[in-house]
Amino acid sequence: MPALSTKSLIGIILICCVLKQIQANVLFRFALDFHVKDNGTELLNKTIKVENNQLLVQNNEEENSTSAPGTEEQTHGDVAKQLLKECKLGVQLLNAELTPLAGRSNQMAGILKQTIRYANEVDASLISGNMSQHFGLLRKYLSLVDNWRSPNNSGGERTLEFVVLKLAMEKYGIVSKQQEALEYLQRADRAWNNYRKHNVILSES
């Protein structure tokens, strides 16, 4: 298709907006692909779509490299579920290691309750949860581990409970799994933000 000038592009967008208003009560759908040189140098590859009174401007250059959330959801879902299973296993092993110390302090009793509650929440999410719940539990794991790594103000790092807790967390890879979960969540956030950046929907307010 011949290249359009920037003025022509603006005209097309204005026409789309006018038609959108005229067809407010009518199902109105079309798509227009165009290639426009910005300032005579850089080629812009865009698609304008108007459907159900919504104007969609899509960046075709990113279409092949940037997948929609729906196409990546299964992949991210599988990774999130596997991470949750590994986090749950580590938490259960930690619980078994610390159970003999349950009566030594309120902090230890609280940690044991948190491990049991977290394992149950993961089980429920894996059975009937969605991606949002999976991500929420991974973030909760990050928070729990941060709390467990902080010594009780009344006891400090030299208490038997904290030393055993720290050794058990290292033994079962709790901290390394925390870092893995953090990096995964950061990658997932970047992927979603990248998709949103290149797929902008303008709708009526």
pLDDT digits (tens, 9 = 90+) for 132-186: 999 999 999 999 999 999 876 555 666 888 889 999 999 999 999 999 999 999 9
Cα separation of the two ends of the chain: 33
Residues 187, 87, single domain; the answer is: yes
Q: Is the pLDDT of residue 89 over 70?
A: yes
Do 160 and 103 lie in one domain? The reply is: yes
pTM of the entire predicted model: 0.62
Q: Tell whether 20 and 88 lie within a shared domain.
A: no
Q: Which residue has the tokens 């990774």?
A: 79
Q: Which two tokens stand for residue 162?
A: 């904290």
SS3 call for 47: strand
Element holding 30 (H helix, E strand): strand 29-38
Domain count, the chain: 2
Could you tell me if 123 and 134 are in contact, meaning their C-beta atoms sit under 8 angstroms apart? no
175 and 77 co-located in one domain: yes
Whether 199 is in a domain gets the answer no
Strand-by-strand arrangement of the 54-59 sheet: 29-38, 42-51, 54-59, 199-203
pLDDT band at 124 (very low <50, low <70, confident <90, very high): very high
- 193, 62 Cβ separation under 8 angstroms: no
Inter-CA distances, 203 with 38, 70, 94, 190, Å: 25, 21, 50, 24
pLDDT score, position 32? 45
13 compared with 34, residue with greater pLDDT: 13
Question: Residue 1 falls within a domain, yes or no?
Answer: no
Q: Could you tell me if 133 and 77 are in contact, meaning their C-beta atoms sit under 8 angstroms apart?
A: no
Distance CA 143, CA 141 (A): 5
Which residue type sits at 119? A
In a domain, 202, yes or no: no
Angle of helix 174-198 versus helix 160-171 axis, rounded to 10: 60
Say how far apart CA 204 and CA 20 lie, in whole Å. Answer: 10
Q: Average pLDDT, stretch 64-93? A: 76
Higher-scoring residue by pLDDT: 47, 160: 160
Among 8-12, 74-78, 87-91, 102-106, the least confident range: 8-12
Which two three-digit tokens encode residue 25? 């009560």
Q: Find the domain containing 53 and state its range.
A: 6-65
Distance CA 164, CA 117 (A): 21
Task: Answer yes or no: is 153 within a domain.
Answer: yes
